[in-house]
Chains A and B, each alone.
Chain A
Amino acid sequence: MSSVSRVSGANRLKRRHLIAVAAAAALGAVGAFRGLREKDEREGLPGAPGGPGFDETYRGRRIQGEPTTGEREHGPDGWRVTVDGQPLGLMRRADGSYLSMVDHYQSYATPLAAARGAVDELGSYQTLSGRLH
């Protein structure tokens, strides 16, 4: 069972969001349900395109994402995502999905799912360098 603890800003989230996120994370912990995880995290969840931000601990890493407006430094318009405070470059694919700079070959429905995917790939021993594309 993967632990997802909300660290701040959680009070802005509705209860059903919390339950849905916890359920999605639990599924995400099982590799066999990879496909399900992607389908389950869509509109209305934290981190969905145009949705609310997120701030959680996933597999021991703090992942945060905020919708932004105005000039972007990197990545798709409208999101700033960090893992343990280091910026995670996200890119948008033409089909609307998100790729992270840690893995250019798997895309996810939401920035949150892409951030979790990046954490999965980083494992327990690597951190982001802070370098963006």
Chain B
Amino acid sequence: MAYTRKNQNSLSRAERRRFVDAVLRLKRRGEYDEFVRTHIDFYVSDGDDRLRVAHMTPTFLPWHRRFLLDFERALRRIDDSVTVPYWDWTKDRSPAASLWGEDLMGGNGRRSDRRVTTGPFARGNGWVVKEAVTDGDFLTRDLGRRADPLELPTRQDVAWAMAETVYDVEPWDSTSRRGFRNRLEGWTEESGSARWRNHNRVHRWVGGHMLGGASVNDPVFWLNHAFVDLLWSRWQRKRPDSAPYLPAKPPTLGDAQYQRIVARREPMPPWRTTPQDMLSHKSVYRYAE
């Protein structure tokens, strides 16, 4: 029986509490920090001449789908009523949204050092950051980048990605000019704050730990990626005649992307899971939209 992932703004008080409690228990067991480490270890940039599976690559979507499934499975071992909620940032756009309430994500970081001081993920309430590239052991945020404000991505940004009829295109990286994957991931050739779209822009908007490789330290990471995952699902429904994943075949010797990206039926490290395995989620979960 498939379970349901809900919009975070529709969770009952009890559902919020159970989600937060499961995350906190995972953290106390040390399992949460394994997810942080995995995400750090698999951030490979596209100018690097080696296999990249998580970002700037066609597997950005299936890799994170699998990553979320692992996290959700770990939560459900603790409490089988819990699922990962999604954050529709085209609608819940303000630091005043209930998402940032004390019973869910907690609030913004303070101005002086961006330290989150409210909610379950505040250092003072026991959430200790252990795996990071900076030395503080407290979670940081700078919602909306107060020194130089920017907005969350809009419905128009999502529509710009959804308008793509092809899943991904050569050169299969952050410079791909077309393709749903790169537009949803959010890389552009623009400068200033127009450079960030969709997924990337959410990381920029939250700021603090969400900006770097250790972004998983902020549990809002999962809520952003659940929405990105929902949008992939929605795109597939909208484009039944498009190949659901590309490339179908691995690049061959002599191609710049040879052994640097994963084709539809090849494994995505650290798992043996292939993009093909991740094309449908309906037997495991569905989204309440």
Contacts and interface: CB of A to CB of B under 8 A. Distances in A.
A99 B45 contact: yes
Interface string A78-99: 0000000000010111111101
Nearest to A72: B48
Interface in A55-75: none
Given A35-B191, A123-B114, A125-B112, A104 B43 contact: yes
Interface in A91-133: 91-97, 99, 101-106, 121-123, 125-129, 131-133
- Contact size range, A: 20 to 34
Contacts, number: 92
Interface residues of B, number: 38
Given A94-B171, A99-B45, A129-B134, A38 B213 contact: no
B196 interface: yes
Contacts of B173: 94
Contacts of B113: 123, 125-126
A84 B147 CA distance: 24
Given A94-B173, A104-B203, A105-B196, A122 B134 contact: yes
B48 A92 contact: yes
B211 A126 contact: no
A105 B203 contact: yes
Contacts of B175: 93-95
A91 B132 CA distance: 17
Interface in B18-51: 40-41, 43-48
28 contacts: A31-B147, A34-B192, A35-B192, A76-B47, A89-B133, A92-B47, A92-B48, A93-B47, A93-B56, A93-B174, A93-B175, A94-B46, A94-B47, A94-B56, A94-B173, A95-B175, A102-B211, A103-B212, A104-B43, A105-B204, A105-B211, A106-B204, A121-B211, A122-B134, A123-B113, A123-B114, A126-B136, A131-B132
